[in-house]
Amino acid sequence: MTGQRGAAAVVGVGNTSFYKRGTSPHSSLQLTLQAVLDACADAGVDPRDVDGFVSYANDSTEGLAVGAALGVHEVRWSSLVWGGGGGGVAAAVNAAAAAVISGQAERVIVYRGLSEADDGRQSYGKGHFPPLLSAHGVLTPVQVCALRTQRLLEVDAVPASAMRALVLADYHHAQNNPEAVAYGRPLSAEQYADARIVSEPFRLYDCSRENDGAGALLVVAADRVPEYSGHPAYVLSGVQGAGPGWSESVENDDAYTSAGFHPALVERLWAQAAVKPGEVDVVQVYENFSGPAVASLIDFGLCPTGPDAGAVMTLENLTAPSGRLPINTAGGNIAEGFVHGIGLAVEAVRQIRGTSSNQVPGADVSLLLGGPMAPLVSATLFGSESTL
């Protein structure tokens, strides 16, 4: 997507409360509609003028159903990103950007809604656990990510303290975010270490939550931004992909301890945006589990691999406002709430707007990383107007 830099922007965001899984009084569609209405109100857009819809992670509500429920004038464009889990969250933003840049649509909603009563448990993993995995007791994403993380720790020698620091940073940020599920429930290093083991090396707090909820972002072409009331976050670059020898390989993926952001993809992200890793002000890194999130930061060169990772991955470095690498400033999937990472996308935009509950002062470059160790991974780099 040459010419993508700064050509599209998010001008509206919305999200519902994060309900404990299975307790939402609303259906997936109702939750999604609520988030879409919020995003439209934020942007100053009549919902009937939305003309495109994109989602990911096998969202159970088709974009056409969302459009029909909104009574839109016309659906000009719709799409669903493949790949289980949250690997598609940034790819969905990128797809929306592509649609508005190419003129196929003018106002595209990126959405993800989840209600366990409608979608069942673990809707993110459906179809990704064939008998060659499941017959051997590998039934869930946490076990796949545990296998990969164990090698990250044991062979690559990344210290386990890196995972702990990431989780504690999530919980630290959640204490300033009244909307976070973990608001008012701080987590100590002792509680983290003493929690029950799920699948080694992961204990309870290394694992994301599962929540009912929805989020939505409204994407428009950059030259139309003045028409909207929402403070814009520009898409500086966006990438998605599965590297060579990656995906659906019953644990035979190349670069086994990577999060899946292969070097060519990473290079494209920086080159398209004309941004260097050191210029990133704040990162929303998808934590299905702590280990894959650490691997993501390593893949992007934001953290060294091996024992040196421990010096970068500290609570002090990872927390706003003064850390060198503030991450997951609303609490992330682990402590804010988990609807396949759509909350991370919303928070990445808030940082550009200056409205985060843990604002990084003067944040101009905000990175969103989706779906580590999943069949598909994706990333979006947002920038403020001053970066254009």
Partner 1 sequence: MPVEVIGSLPPDIADLVERHGRAVAAGDLRATMADFRPDRIGQLAASASLPVDLESSEVRRLVAEPDGSVTAFIRYRAAGGAAILLRSRWVRLAEGWRVHQVRNLPETPPRPPTEGPSDGGLDAPHWQGLRAGELRIQRCGGCQRWIWAPRPMCPNCYSTDLRWPAVAPAGTVYSWTRTWQPFTPELSGHLPYVVVLVELPEAGGRRVLGVLRDSDAATVRIGQPVKGDFDEPADGQGWPLLRWSRS
For 46, residues 6+ apart whose C-beta sits below 8 A from its C-beta are 40
Is 154 a residue that touches partner 1 (CB under 8 A)? yes
* Binding of partner 1 by 130 (CB under 8 A): yes
For residues 179-191, b (16+ Cβ closer than 10 Å) or e, as one string? bbbbbeeebeeee
CA distance 144 to 122: 14
Measure Cα distances from 385 to 35, 42, 89, 95, 293 in Å.
25, 18, 23, 21, 28
Enter the tokens of residue 47.
């919902």
Residues 252, 278, 361, 386: which binds partner 1 (CB under 8 A)?
A: 252
Q: How far is the CB of 201 from partner 1 (least distance, A)?
A: 8
Stretch that binds partner 1, among 140-148, 223-231, 303-311, 360-368 (CB under 8 A): 140-148
Q: Both tokens of residue 308?
A: 């040196």
How far apart CA 192 and CA 113 sit, in angstroms, is 29
Of 200 and 267, the one with the shorter C-beta distance to partner 1 is 200
Q: Does 138 bind partner 1 (CB under 8 A)?
A: yes
Rounded Cα gap, residues 383 and 326, in angstroms: 16
Q: Please identify, among the stretches 32-40, 209-217, 234-242, 245-253, the one whose residues bind partner 1 according to the rule CB under 8 A.
A: 245-253
Q: Under the criterion CB under 8 A, does residue 139 sit at the interface with partner 1?
A: yes
Q: Which stretch binds partner 1 (CB under 8 A): 97-105, 124-132, 176-184, 364-372?
A: 124-132
Structure tokens at 107: 């106002």
Q: How far is the CB of 332 from partner 1 (least distance, A)?
A: 21
Cα–Cα distance list, 387 to 62, 367, 377 (Å): 35, 13, 25
Overall residue count recorded for the chain in this entry: 388
Q: Which is nearer to partner 1, 223 or 251 (by Cβ)? A: 251
> 65 or 198, CB closer to partner 1?
198
CB of 159 to partner 1, least distance (A): 16
Q: How far is the CB of 208 from partner 1 (least distance, A)?
A: 14
* Count, residues near partner 1 per rule CB under 8 A: 33
147 sits near partner 1 (criterion: CB under 8 A) = yes
Residue linked to tokens 């024992």: 307
Q: What does each C-alpha distance from 114 to 39, 99, 278 come to in angstroms?
A: 17, 24, 35
Q: Residue 258 in contact with residue 295, Cβ under 8 Å? A: yes
Applying CB under 8 A, among 48, 73, 136, 324 the residue interacting with partner 1 is 136
Q: Is 256 in the site for partner 1 (CB under 8 A)?
A: yes
Question: According to CB under 8 A, which one of 17, 150, 161, 317 is a site residue for partner 1?
Answer: 150
What φ, ψ does residue 156 adopt, rounded to 5°?
-75, -15
Q: With respect to partner 1, which residue has the nearer C-beta, 130 or 307? A: 130
Among 1, 65, 133, 160, binds partner 1 (CB under 8 A): 133
144 phi, psi to nearest 5 deg: -60, -45
Residue 254 as a binder of partner 1 (CB under 8 A): the answer is: no
Contact 75, 52 (CB under 8 A): yes
Find the part of the chain contacting partner 1 (CB under 8 A) among 42-50, 106-114, 249-257, 305-313. Answer: 249-257
User: Residues 165-204: x/- map of binding to partner 1 (CB under 8 A)?
Assistant: ------------------------------xxxxxxx---
Calpha distance 51→196 (Å, rounded): 47
Do the bridges between strand 107-114 and strand 52-56 make them parallel or antiparallel, or are there none, so unpaired?
Answer: parallel
**Interface positions, 201-220, toward partner 1 (CB under 8 A):** 201
Residue 361: CB minimum distance to partner 1, A:
38
Report the distance separating Cα 130 and Cα 77, nearest Å. 33
Cβ 127 to partner 1 shortest distance, Å? 10
* Cα(252)–Cα(356) distance, integer angstroms: 40
Contact set with partner 1 (CB under 8 A):
130-140, 142-143, 146-148, 150-151, 154-155, 195-201, 248-252, 256
